[in-house]
């Protein structure tokens, strides 16, 4: 039975400021780093074989903290970020093949990025609610198919997140690898929808807290056999 650990990044500077973030690349704040350290402590009894994260620094930071602050999560191996980009700025890092018996590969994927909030990015959520109404802001944030102006709906996000989950992440799980995924509220919501077999009417009530790991037991057919929330 393989284990899938999902964790929403710790609190970012814009979470704390109640701003729409989306693809704006803001870091964790002090609270967020503490949340990630606490998550690492909760995950001390688990061991992962591979990790995935988005391209955004708040998820990358959370991944790094979890894998370096937990005494057991890496099983004595070293975490190594794997870059797919054929870009001179990577200094050839994407060419390094690695040593699986000594390292935990961490794959960065745009498919796991947060939902794109379009024209709302940078705006304070409470002030936007005063301008257009709380109900409208709630629809933009929590409904399945409603797009914010110029942005993605959760349905749009799922169209990129779920194929990656099925093709890359679920493949590891079926092979018996334990997997850590550090991502975002909406990219993870789409994955949780599939794992928990939720319908679109249940989406508005689905809330993932920052820095709180969800652990799924996955059998060799890819089916969920159990779930634990590490509050």
Listed in sequence order, the residues at least 6 apart from 42 whose beta carbon sits closer than 8 Å to its beta carbon are: 213, 230
Does residue 166 have a known ligand-binding role? no
d(CA 111, CA 11): 21
- The catalytic position among 9, 61, 152, 184 is 9
Please confirm, yes or no, whether 9 is among the known catalytic residues.
Answer: yes
Does residue 21 have a known ligand-binding role? yes
d(CA 166, CA 164): 5
Does residue 176 have a known ligand-binding role? no
Please confirm, yes or no, whether 114 is among the known catalytic residues.
Answer: yes
SS3 21: coil
d(CA 151, CA 130): 20
Does residue 33 have a known ligand-binding role? no
SS3 225: strand
Does residue 186 have a known ligand-binding role? yes
Does residue 8 have a known ligand-binding role? yes
Does residue 34 have a known ligand-binding role? no
Does residue 96 have a known ligand-binding role? no
- The catalytic position among 35, 114, 172, 184 is 114
d(CA 187, CA 183): 7
Q: Which residues are annotated as a binding site for substrate?
A: 8-15, 21-22, 58, 114-117, 125, 141-142, 185-186
Annotated binding site: 8-15, 21-22, 58, 114-117, 125, 141-142, 185-186
Q: Which residues are catalytic?
A: 9, 114
């Amino acid at each position: 039975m393989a284990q899938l650990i999902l964790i929403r990044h710790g609190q970012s500077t814009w979470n704390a400021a109640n701003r729409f973030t989306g693809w704006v690349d803001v870091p964790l704040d002090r609270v967020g780093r503490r949340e990630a350290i606490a998550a690492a402590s909760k995950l001390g009894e688990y061991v992962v074989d591979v990790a995935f994260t988005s391209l955004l620094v708040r998820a990358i930071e959370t991944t790094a903290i979890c894998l370096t602050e937990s005494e057991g999560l890496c099983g004595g191996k070293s975490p190594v970020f794997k870059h797919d980009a054929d870009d001179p700025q990577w200094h050839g890092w994407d060419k390094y093949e690695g040593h699986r018996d000594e390292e935990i590969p961490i794959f960065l994927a745009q498919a796991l990025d947060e939902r794109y909030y379009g024209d709302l990015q940078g705006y304070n959520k409470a002030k936007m609610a005063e301008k257009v109404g709380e109900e409208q802001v709630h629809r933009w944030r929590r409904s399945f198919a409603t797009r914010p102006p110029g942005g993605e709906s959760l349905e749009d996000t799922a169209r990129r997140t779920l194929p990656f989950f099925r093709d890359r992440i679920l493949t590891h799980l079926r092979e018996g690898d334990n997997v850590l995924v550090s991502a975002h509220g909406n990219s993870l919501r789409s994955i949780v929808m599939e794992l928990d077999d939720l319908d679109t009417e249940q989406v508005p009530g689905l809330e993932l807290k920052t820095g709180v790991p969800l652990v799924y037991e996955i059998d060799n057919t890819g089916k969920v056999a159990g779930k634990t929330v590490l509050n």
